[in-house]
């Protein structure tokens, strides 16, 4: 699903709201999430997951074309951990099944 599909789905679910209003709400949500992550804060969306920023160490890599060694600088990255609710939904309550039930 891309942003335009999400926007269309929200417009279909809430026909009393204007398309431009829903679009603005989505922009605000994504902007606030990205700003919180850039400040180093965790973003938790209950029932969905947690977004965290981590620091990747500087390392030495290799250019695949020329096989020369290249210094890769330290940088920030985002890690995401899904919630148990989403995990169970994706895996059809996998954690509730017993191993003995599968034999």
For 25-75, write each residue's pLDDT tens digit.
999 999 999 999 999 999 999 999 999 999 999 999 999 999 999 999 999
DSSP 14: -
Q: Is the dihedral of CA 90, 94, 96, 102 positive or negative?
A: positive
Exposed, middle or buried by CB within 10 Å (0-12, 13-18, 19+), for 94? exposed
DSSP 92: T
Domain spans, the chain: 3-102
- Residue 92: the pLDDT is 83
Q: How far apart are CA 51 and CA 62, in angstroms?
A: 30
Q: Does residue 95 register a pLDDT over 80?
A: no
**pTM tops 0.85:** no
CATH topology of domain 3-102: HU Protein; Chain A (4.10.520)
- Residue 91: the pLDDT is 87
Q: How far apart are CA 94 and CA 101, in angstroms?
A: 11
Average pLDDT, the chain: 90
CB 76 within 8 A of CB 67: no
State what percent of residues in the chain have pLDDT above 70.
89
CB 52 within 8 A of CB 40: no
Q: Does residue 6 register a pLDDT over 60?
A: yes
Q: How far apart are CA 49 and CA 43, in angstroms?
A: 8
């Amino acid at each position: 699903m891309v942003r335009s599909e999400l926007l269309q789905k929200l417009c279909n679910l809430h026909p009393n709201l204007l398309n431009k209003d829903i679009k603005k709400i989505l922009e605000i949500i994504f902007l606030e999430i990205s700003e919180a992550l850039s400040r180093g804060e965790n973003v938790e969306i209950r029932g969905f997951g947690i977004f965290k920023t981590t620091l990747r160490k500087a390392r030495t890599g290799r250019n695949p074309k020329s096989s020369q060694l290249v210094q890769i600088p330290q940088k920030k990255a985002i890690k995401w951990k899904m919630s148990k609710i989403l995990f169970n939904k994706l895996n059809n309550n996998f954690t509730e099944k017993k191993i003995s039930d599968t034999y």
